[in-house]
Structure 1
Amino acid sequence: MAKTQAKLVNIIAEMNHLEEVLDRFIGLSDFYPEPAAKLADSVHGLTTLVQENPYKKMMEQLKSLLGILDMDVQETEDSSAPALLDHPEELIEKIQADYTDIQSKIEEIAQLKKEDEEIENLVKPILDLEISLDEIFACEYMVSRLGKLPLDSAEKLEEYKSKPFFWTALSQDFHHCWGIYMTTNSYEREVDNLFSSLQFERIHIPHFIHGTPEEALEGLTEEMKSFQRSLDKLNLQKEELRQETKEKLSELYLALAHASLVFEARKFVLVLGNRFSISGFILPENMDSVTNAFQDLPFVEIEVRPASSDKRLTPPTKMKTKKHFTKAKTLADLFKSGATH
């Protein structure tokens, strides 16, 4: 559409009504506002309100927390934003700290359980060993090595039966044979070298494992059950935290998103002493959307002039229906949009 069909609109009010006017302004559609910076330098004493958005950091922290909690923002039928509570960053930090504490404990216990599972896999193949592990490794003049050999290597041990070691097979599968070899201290290096050449993989039993392998396995099983009970309890606590804070975080997100949008709209505000104005273009047939938005605010003055009346501004050559700010009706919409533009 030709630019001469547009109208230039100035929305004017006193500075003490700024927030109330901007709250209505961000809901306008079909209105093309002009950045105040285009006008501020043309007249001495005119200023703008361009500043860093104080809500941006909190929005990023809250979005991160929602992501960590794997929490979708709740839908709401009310399009109005809840009031922003005092010190919202304290609530975000408190919930973040509570979650981090629970998650840290979960990761710590899960790691201990995983270590037990790995030790369990080491102990199972040597269950046939009926001697206490403590007694084996406490021998003063003998050294012992628990581990596994490839099956073809185990078969080759017959070729070395004259060597100074004893080998006892404990179990095997399709690929390996688990067992233990023993030798005296004086032949330790020679025998270790021999078994190394046969691709012997040593099993290092942790120092806290005591008794026979069967007894050790029983202890590990009980400990893993205890770890799992702790994990179940902590996961329940995490879910309870999610449920307890879901509504509160959703409301906070909506409040922050709204406050952020209102603050971003300040870039269109031109300060005229103790008054301000917002200028923009609109098609005549869409003018009702502006007047209706402010009709119950008697302190708002709306000036309508020809598009070419202010030579500092150039009307758009094409004007299509467009929202310059998203005053979404749902939290999900705000969450997807990032809440700021």
Structure 2
Amino acid sequence: MSSIEKMMFADIAGIDTDLDAVLDIISSCGCFHMENAAAVHVSGSKTNAKRENPYTASLKLLSEIGTLTGIKLQKADCSDIRDSDIEKVREDIRSVRNRVQKMKAEVKKASDNLNAHTMALEQVLHLSGGEGVGSLSVDIEQIFACKHIKVRFGRLPTDSYEKLSYYEDKNFYFLAYGRDKEYVYGFCFAPLSEAEEIDGILESLYFDRIRLPDFVHGSADDAAKSLEKNVEDDKAEVEKRKKELADFIEQKRETLNKYFTKLKTMHDTFELREKVMMIRDKFYIVGFVPERDAERFKKYFEDLKSVSLVMKPCTENGEIETPVKLRNNKFAEPFSMFVDLYGLPAYNDINPTNFVAITYTLLFGIMFGDLGQGLVISLLGLLLWKWKKMTLGRIMERLGVSSMIFGTLYGSVFGYEELLDPMYESLGISFLPFKAIHSINNVLYSAIGIGIFIIIISVIVNMIMGLKEKNYTRALFSNNGLAGLVFYCSLLMLLLGGMLGLNVGGTAYVLGLIVLPLIIMFLREPLGELVKGKGFHIHESPGDFIAANFFECFEFLLGYATNTLSFVRVGGFVLSHAGMMSVVLALAEMSGGMSPVVMILGNLFVIALEGLLVGIQVLRLEFYEMFSRYYTGGGKAFKPVSVNYDEIIE
């Protein structure tokens, strides 16, 4: 059964020398929800035990190492590292960080040399000859060493090179040595006295100057051969440095994960001091433990003789809101995801997961009934759960089974409505399969009937919760209480009798079962105070009270009508599913030889589109037509203290 875990309030006290040991127990037991002790213990001399965390700096260094090396720090067995070894761990982390930085610098230096030699070789190769000239045989250094001539080496766009003829009257010469699809490479020679003017002309032609490095010597062929050897040597050096770094990283990976696990455990445990209250040399810690874990929790403190642990039922503790931990059976457990979306119940409220699981599964199956498509949904859900561990996958498994069951009743298998007819004929069951498309009125009336049943159940649940809380306004006099239930059922009986021609009603019936409950709902708040023994009181002016409650009662009437008619969508989707599959079948029949492909694609489209729409619409019914009547949410989640190894301190 679905319920809310019973909680025990734990009050822990001791001397400061035992604080670290207690925090270690709390962070490792996995069943203690910690609260701020200052909210319970009141004292003028209280202080907070929080101070600067001594493990943050080392974790930041580990994070830096992870960034430099690409290691993803994760939890590992660190039982061989003692608390007394932490200083050695810090020194080793600093040493590893420095070594990694040095090795990364060596890799970068080798890569920079490779890039420089590669780029120089690329430019020198442009001097291998072209445009009617041979390979540059003159020492390149000598060309740039000219005292009276300014030399520029670079490239011109092909279009700009053709425009050089426009400047034949200018005193410069461009010697082309190489060409590719976009550029012409070469030297530009100009007298030193006219260099500035020639540079301006080249700039207007989009000349891109290339500076050859100082290590380029000799002729073009000699320089190219030398650079080719440099490139090969640089590649080997880069690979060597990278391998040294990779080997070192692999060698240290396990050790670094151990260091991370140990330091993260101590860091997160130390952070718990923020909620610890100190009064002189004594500490106080408060929190919650599930009742089923209480005895196990007590055993952790048996060896700490100077530590006091007092546990009491949560009803005795009113200072702090009790956290909520839902307890569900295996079938309903995945549907707690929907409850979390709306908001957890309060500690003394009801756990609606069972109700959600049953109604959601049934409504989905009714609205999306198909034996074949339900099987696909169930298998897809199983795949998502096994592969991605998605809670939605577990829900889809259950919804698929429901769809298969109702699909069997409808006689629908991948849209084929006649496949199961022989089976029912052989069994002698004449009223099955149920053909929704031929019984539209019955489908819509049944959908409204389902809605009426669910609304009544929701009101009854609300009444039970109101009586449990001794909130008589909620349980007896509200629109979702006894008065509302009598009014709703009586009105339905009156309408049903009129439709069937039955003699239901009369003055006494209308006055006693319709008008009187409506008056009670109108006076629900003062009646609630009267039942509590506080007297019949109206706290605002009579005019304001009448106006406000009149419109609220009018809203109640509209709510009954709209909530009931909202369930027509259940029948609507039953019919729409049959209609969509009839279209798919018609398209398959028209396509001839392509009919299998059309059927497969059509079924996949219906599963994706209608499955999503039905899922959303059922969730809407859960939240707006059911939860709004008996459930408020607003509870605080039970979060046991634990070490978060997924969080990296940067």
TM bracket, shorter-chain basis: 0.7 to 0.9
TM-score (norm 1): 0.78
Going from structure 1 to structure 2, the CA distance change for 1:67 and 1:154 (only over 3 Å counts) comes to closer
Contact persistence 2:4–2:324 (CA under 8 A):
yes
Larger Rg, first or second structure (1 or 2): 2
2:261 to 239, 254, 257: 254
Unaligned runs of 5+ residues in structure 2 are 129-134, 327-636
The equivalent residue for 1:179 is 186
SS at match of 1:252: helix
The equivalent residue for 1:234 is 241
Q: Larger deviation: 100-109 or 136-145? A: 136-145
Describe the superposition over 1:180-222 as per-residue Cα deviations: whole angstroms up to 9, x where unpaired.
4545556656666665555544443334322111111111111
In structure 2, how many angstroms separate the alpha carbons of the residues matched to 1:34 and 1:124?
73
The equivalent residue for 2:108 is 107
The equivalent residue for 2:86 is 86
1:225 to 208, 223, 232: 232
How much does 1:101 deviate? 1.1
2:322 to 312, 316, 323: 316
In structure 2, how many angstroms separate the alpha carbons of the residues matched to 1:268 and 1:189?
74
Q: Larger deviation: 249-258 or 196-205? A: 196-205
Amino acid at match of 2:9: L
Amino acid at match of 2:294: M
Going from structure 1 to structure 2, the CA distance change for 1:225 and 1:292 (only over 3 Å counts) comes to same
TM-score (norm 2): 0.44
How much does 1:44 deviate? 5.4
Pairing of 1:166-315 with structure 2 (within 5 A): 167-182=174-189, 198-271=205-278, 276-295=283-302, 300-307=307-314, 309=316, 313-315=319-321
Could you tell me the percent identity over the aligned residues? 22
Contact persistence 1:28–1:323 (CA under 8 A):
no
Q: C-alpha root-mean-square deviation of aligned residues, in Å?
A: 3.5
In structure 2, how many angstroms separate the alpha carbons of the residues matched to 1:207 and 1:169?
22
How much does 1:6 deviate? 4.3
Contact persistence 2:74–2:260 (CA under 8 A):
no
Contact persistence 1:2–1:317 (CA under 8 A):
no
SS at match of 1:102: helix
SS at match of 1:37: helix
How much does 1:315 deviate? 4.0
How much does 1:288 deviate? 2.9
How much does 1:140 deviate? 5.0
Contact persistence 2:26–2:32 (CA under 8 A):
no
In structure 2, how many angstroms separate the alpha carbons of the residues matched to 1:274 and 1:187?
87
Looking at secondary structure, tell me which structure has more helix per residue: 2
In structure 2, how many angstroms separate the alpha carbons of the residues matched to 1:236 and 1:174?
38
User: How many residues matched?
Assistant: 329
SS at match of 1:43: coil
The equivalent residue for 1:62 is 62
In structure 2, how many angstroms separate the alpha carbons of the residues matched to 1:298 and 1:268?
23
| 1:336 to 2:646 alignment | yes
In structure 1, how many angstroms separate the alpha carbons of the residues matched to 2:205 and 2:46?
88
Describe the superposition over 1:212-248 as per-residue Cα deviations: whole angstroms up to 9, x where unpaired.
1111111111122222222222112211221222222
In structure 1, how many angstroms separate the alpha carbons of the residues matched to 2:266 and 2:224?
59
In structure 1, how many angstroms separate the alpha carbons of the residues matched to 2:78 and 2:94?
27
| 1:25 to 2:26 alignment | yes
In structure 2, how many angstroms separate the alpha carbons of the residues matched to 1:181 and 1:252?
62
Identify the structure with bigger relative contact order (alpha carbons < 8 Å, sequence gap 6+). 1
Describe the superposition over 1:21-66 as per-residue Cα deviations: whole angstroms up to 9, x where unpaired.
22212234453333122245x2355554222322223222222222
Q: Larger deviation: 47-56 or 318-327? A: 318-327
In structure 2, how many angstroms separate the alpha carbons of the residues matched to 1:52 and 1:300?
25
Describe the superposition over 1:277-318 as per-residue Cα deviations: whole angstroms up to 9, x where unpaired.
43223453442342244456566543233435566x334264
